[in-house]
Structures are given as C-alpha cells and as structure tokens.
C-alpha cells in the first residue's frame, strides 16, 4: 500500500494502533454496548407511547431486529479490528516524485525510511496492525485511486528545485571570495570604466550584445570584455595572483634574475582557464555549497551551449555573494571614493539593493518553501488523528451506516490532497515556463534578485494560493456531498422504519376505539 510522505509511513501504523487501543478500552468498559441498549429502549418506548398492542408488537420487534442487524453489520465491518485485514509494515511504501536532483528517487519503507522518522522519532510502531474490513478497503481504494490519477497526469518539470538550489550556491571559501574581489577591482572595474568612456560601436560588439544580452557588460565574466581587443585580453592585475606561476614572457616588469613565485595573469586567462581559472573555481564552489548545482543548470537548460551554462552558474554564485572593493585605489574613469567615504557609499548602495521588493520576495519565497515542505506532514498527522478517533465516532453514531460512508469520505478527502498538490505543482511549472519562455533569461533572473522580483512574487503568491486553496475547496465540496449522502442514507433507512411507526399509530387508534366502545357498553 502506497502512502504520500515519509512521515505517513509511521503515522499510518501509529494511527491504527491507537484505534485498536481505544476500541479495546471501549469494549472493556462496556461503552461499545450502549448503542445496542439505546436501540432496544427506543424501539420499546416509541410503540409504548403510541399505545401499541396485539399484532403491532410483532412489527415493533421486526423494526428492532432490523436496527440491531444493521448495528451488528457496522460493528463487524467498521468497528472490530479483523485478522482478515492486517496492515503490515512491510507493505507500506513511499516513492517521492522525481526531481532534477534525484531523477530516480529511492522508495522508502518502514525498514528503510530514507529519513529520520522511525529511527530517532516515531520509534516503536507495530509491525502488524489489524484493521476493520471497511477501513482497510477505504485505505486501499484511496491509495490506488490517488496514484492512478498522478500517474495519468502530465509530468511536471521541476523548476522550483532549481530556484531553491540556486539560493544555496554561494562562496564559502574566504580565499576565493578575496580572489573574486581582486578580479572585480583590478579587471572588471578597469574594463567597465574603459567601456563606459569609449562607448564602442563595433559590429563585433553589437553581435556579442545581441547574442548574450544588452546587460552583458554589467557582470565580471562579460563576453564583450573577453572577446574585444583592449579589454581582458590585455589587462592585468596590479599585483601578483596566488596560484599563477611567474611567466617571463608575460611578467616582464619583474627582474628575471630574481623572479617572484607568482605572476600576473591576463584578465582573460584569469577568468577562463580550465583548471585554475576564476570561473572554474566559482563552478566548483557552487557544486560544494549547493550539491550538483552545475548539473542542475544543464538539466534545466540542456539546449544552451556549455559556455552559457557555465556563465549561468558563475552569475548565480556572484549574485548570492557579490564582490566588494579589495582596495581603496581610485580606478580610471571610476567615480568611487576611497577610505571612509567609499565605505559609507557602498553601505548605502547595499542597503538600497536589499530593500523593498527584494526583502519581501526573499521572505515570501522562504516562507513558501517551508509551507510546501510542511503540508505533507500536516496531512499525515491529520490522518493519524482521524484513524485514532474513529472508534469514538463509530460508537457515538450508534453504529450508523451513514457514519461509515461519511468517515470513508473524510479519509478519502484528506488523502486526495496529494493529487491536488501535484496538480498545483503542474500548474506552477507551466506558469513559470509561460512567464520565462527564454531559458537563458530564466537562468539569469528567476532565482536571482533584481528587477524581476515582482513577477516572481506574483508566481509565488499564485502557487501558495493553489497549494492551500485547492484542498480547502475540495474539502468544502466533499462536505456538501457528505451531508447529502448522509441525508440520503437516513432517508433510505427511514423507509424501513415507517411500517413499524405507522403500525404503532394505527395500534394506538385501534386501542382507543376499543376502549371507547367498551366504555359505552
């Protein structure tokens, strides 16, 4: 039998264990027999109040037999746990939906839960729990129905996983963070200042801007600076860079008789080198801080060239860990200040950058991620409560058939939430693809702060309303149906009681007529 979360593997067993305990208590205290006493009293009192006698008594007994028979059927099917329908821990399993990180996830069982449930929490669940026949059938039908629907629905891409993992990709190594700041100060700022001053209009630059976007010159790995003569190809840092060996043909400013340990690479090779280049280090750091993030980008955008995929990873890391000035030297054509004024200016800019929409978007995204992760746990705990309290409902309903149907609808309603959440996921993924049809733009802006935060907030709001609203709507609709079904069942059973009630009334009338005739005589 399949369940819908890691936690439900254990709450299902515990819920039905509590059911058995509560049923045993009701049985031992005799409370479980009170509904039968109520049936006997009601079927004796009502005819007696109508003055029933003679042949009418037989009809009253028939009504009593009918109600007692229905109550016994309910006890057998929906009250007493039966050895014919055991719930074995070995039959429970949960297979999470595939994601970009885990395209073929492992199936979790009670023996191998793939989580801390059952090992450090929810420990000691029974390996086999006997269930009433009716509730076992309801569980089996609900699980099979839900998974048949999910298997029949279109597959949903997993773009939210990319967003979550992109937020984790950052620079944890302080040495790499310093190297990024050095490249920012000594290569990018110089190239950016030269570009702003020259405003070149070469056809080659126009082609690069068309291919890589008009904002390409605004980031450290700009293709314009890497491919245009006079920029990264000729620029070098003002100080040596650790890890780059001295090269006499390149580092001509040093005395060849006493060369330094490290040299000054050209900015282009500093960025692009396949082994010790800065972009390679950023990609490796992304895979460390956000496991397998580079592969995740390839999975999201397989049609992009590898160069664009690598740039997307580097941009994401730099967005989460932006570089800062590594010195207070004034750069050519740069309006920045030095010393305390520069610190105040950068602090003000940073405060404005993370204000307003950016903070709201980030907080909303974190909140949504936590809620979406918690919804299946809430579902599992609610089902535990339903299973545990069912014995009281069975007894207090006086072993009503309507209660069996209503309880079945309640269980089915809550378990069907999993289907609704998959539907919400499918809608969410399609909305993302519709709002970001260009995958290159998606990689650049969806998971990174910037001017598109308003659009991302709209997507998050819609997704939240779907995940929370669809179950509420469905539960309300099932409540309407449950009331209608309950009334229909009551109407059907009342037809069986009417003959005895009519007989009671007729008996009372006959009795009054006989008494009156005898009095006149």
Question: In the structure, what pLDDT confidence band is assigned to residue 452 with cuts at 50, 70 and 90?
Answer: low
pLDDT tens for each residue of 62-73? 777 888 888 899
Mean predicted confidence (pLDDT) in 191-203:
87
pLDDT tens for each residue of 162-188? 877 888 888 889 999 999 998 998 899
- Say which range, 46-60, 107-121, 168-182, 360-374, has the weakest mean pLDDT: 46-60
* 255 CB-contact burial (10 Å; exposed 0-12 / middle 13-18 / buried 19+): exposed
**pLDDT (0 to 100) of residue 463:** 81
**pLDDT (0 to 100) of residue 448:** 61
**pLDDT (0 to 100) of residue 24:** 92
**pLDDT (0 to 100) of residue 60:** 66
pLDDT at 322 over 60: yes
Mean predicted confidence (pLDDT) in 465-491:
71
**pLDDT (0 to 100) of residue 497:** 47
User: Alpha-carbon distance 295 to 301, whole Å?
Assistant: 10
pLDDT at 34 over 60: yes
The residue with greater pLDDT, 506 or 267, is 267
Mean predicted confidence (pLDDT) in 311-332:
72
Residue 497 in tokens: 């009681």
> Looking up tokens 């004796």, which residue turns up?
44
The residue with greater pLDDT, 331 or 41, is 41
Give the HSE-up count for residue 365: Cα atoms under 13 Å, Cβ half-sphere: 25
CA distances from 440 to 414, 433, 436, 437, 449 (A): 40, 12, 9, 9, 16
pLDDT at 25 over 80: yes
Q: Contact, 118 vs 89, CB < 8 A? A: no
* % of the chain exceeding 70 in pLDDT: 78
Mean predicted confidence (pLDDT) in 438-465:
70
**SS3 call for 57:** helix
Question: In the structure, what pLDDT confidence band is assigned to residue 278 with cuts at 50, 70 and 90?
Answer: very high
**pLDDT (0 to 100) of residue 505:** 47
pLDDT at 104 over 70: yes
**pLDDT (0 to 100) of residue 508:** 45
pLDDT at 345 over 80: no
pLDDT at 147 over 70: yes
**pLDDT (0 to 100) of residue 136:** 93
Mean predicted confidence (pLDDT) in 203-229:
88
**pLDDT (0 to 100) of residue 343:** 43
Q: Contact, 6 vs 114, CB < 8 A? A: yes
Residue 380 in tokens: 């599992």
Question: In the structure, what pLDDT confidence band is assigned to residue 369 with cuts at 50, 70 and 90?
Answer: confident
Mean predicted confidence (pLDDT) in 28-56:
72
Could you tell me what percentage of the chain is helix, strand and coil, using 3-state DSSP and rounding each to the nearest 5? 65, 5, 30
pLDDT at 359 over 90: no
**SS3 call for 129:** strand
pLDDT tens for each residue of 393-436? 999 988 888 888 888 988 998 999 999 998 888 888 888 888 77
- Say which range, 34-48, 259-273, 492-506, has the weakest mean pLDDT: 492-506
pLDDT at 152 over 70: yes
Mean predicted confidence (pLDDT) in 474-496:
60
**pLDDT (0 to 100) of residue 357:** 45
pLDDT at 36 over 70: yes
**pLDDT (0 to 100) of residue 280:** 92
The residue with greater pLDDT, 303 or 359, is 303
pLDDT at 312 over 80: yes
**pLDDT (0 to 100) of residue 334:** 41
**pLDDT (0 to 100) of residue 511:** 46
Question: In the structure, what pLDDT confidence band is assigned to residue 319 with cuts at 50, 70 and 90?
Answer: confident
pLDDT at 356 over 70: no
**pLDDT (0 to 100) of residue 493:** 45
pLDDT at 243 over 80: yes
Mean predicted confidence (pLDDT) in 149-157:
83
**pLDDT (0 to 100) of residue 365:** 60
pLDDT at 487 over 80: no
Following DSSP, what letter does each residue of 331-400 receive, concatenated?
Answer: PTT-----HHHHHHHHHHHHHHHTSTHHHHHHHHHHHHHHHHHHHHHHHHHHHHHHHHHHHHHHHHTTS-
Q: Is the whole model's pTM more than 0.75, yes or no?
A: no
Q: Contact, 444 vs 452, CB < 8 A? A: no
Mean pLDDT of the residues in the chain:
79
Question: In the structure, what pLDDT confidence band is assigned to residue 461 with cuts at 50, 70 and 90?
Answer: confident
**pLDDT (0 to 100) of residue 512:** 46
The residue with greater pLDDT, 482 or 186, is 186
């Amino acid at each position: 039998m399949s369940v819908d979360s890691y936690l439900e593997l254990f709450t299902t067993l515990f819920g039905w264990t509590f059911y058995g305990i509560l049923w045993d208590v009701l049985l031992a205290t005799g409370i479980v027999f009170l509904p039968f006493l109520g049936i006997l009293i009601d079927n004796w009192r009502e005819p007696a109040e109508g003055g029933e006698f003679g042949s009418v008594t037989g009809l009253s007994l028939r009504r009593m037999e009918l109600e007692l028979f229905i109550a016994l059927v309910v006890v057998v099917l929906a009250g007493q746990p039966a050895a014919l329908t055991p719930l074995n821990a070995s039959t429970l399993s949960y297979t999470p939906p595939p994601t970009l990180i885990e395209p073929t996830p492992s199936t979790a069982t009670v023996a191998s839960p793939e989580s801390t449930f059952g090992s450090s929490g929810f420990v000691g669940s029974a390996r086999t729990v006997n269930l009433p026949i009716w509730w076992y059938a309801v569980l089996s039908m609900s699980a099979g129905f839900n998974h048949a629907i999910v298997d029949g629905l279109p597959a949903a891409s997993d773009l939210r996983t990319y967003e979550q993992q992109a937020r984790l990709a950052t620079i944890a190594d302080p040495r790499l963070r310093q190297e990024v700041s050095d490249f920012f100060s000594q290569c990018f700022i110089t190239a950016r200042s030269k570009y702003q001053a020259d405003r070149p209009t070469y056809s080659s630059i126009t082609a690069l801007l068309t291919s890589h976007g008009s904002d390409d010159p605004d980031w450290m790995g700009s293709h314009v600076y890497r491919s245009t003569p006079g920029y990264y190809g000729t620029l070098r840092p003002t100080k040596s860079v650790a890890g780059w060996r001295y090269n006499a043909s390149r580092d001509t400013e040093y005395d060849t008789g006493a060369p330094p340990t490290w040299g000054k690479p050209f900015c282009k090779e500093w960025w692009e080198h396949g082994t010790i280049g800065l972009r390679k280090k950023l990609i490796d750091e992304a895979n460390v801080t956000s496991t397998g993030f580079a592969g995740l980008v390839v999975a999201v955008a397989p049609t992009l060239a590898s160069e664009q995929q690598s740039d997307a990873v580097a941009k994401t890391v730099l967005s989460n860990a932006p570089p800062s000035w590594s010195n207070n030297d004034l750069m050519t054509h740069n309006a920045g200040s030095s010393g305390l004024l520069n610190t105040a200016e950068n602090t003000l800019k940073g405060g404005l950058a993370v204000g307003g929409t950016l903070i709201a978007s980030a907080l909303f995204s974190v909140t949504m991620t936590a809620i979406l992760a918690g919804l299946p746990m809430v579902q599992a705990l609610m089902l535990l409560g339903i299973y545990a309290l069912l014995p009281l409902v069975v007894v207090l309903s006086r072993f009503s058939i309507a209660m069996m149907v209503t309880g079945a609808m309640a269980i089915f309603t809550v378990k069907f939430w999993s289907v609704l959440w998959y539907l919400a996921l499918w809608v969410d993924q399609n909305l993302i693809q519709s709002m970001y049809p260009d995958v290159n733009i998606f990689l650049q802006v969806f998971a990174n702060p910037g001017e598109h935060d308003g659009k991302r907030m709209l997507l998050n709001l819609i997704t939240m309303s779907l995940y929370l609203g669809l179950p509420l709507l469905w539960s309300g609709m099932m409540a309407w149906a449950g009331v209608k079904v309950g009334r229909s069942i009551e109407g059907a059973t009342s037809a069986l009681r009417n003959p005895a009630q009519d007989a009671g009334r007729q008996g009372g009338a006959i009795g009054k007529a006989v008494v009156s005739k005898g009095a006149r005589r």
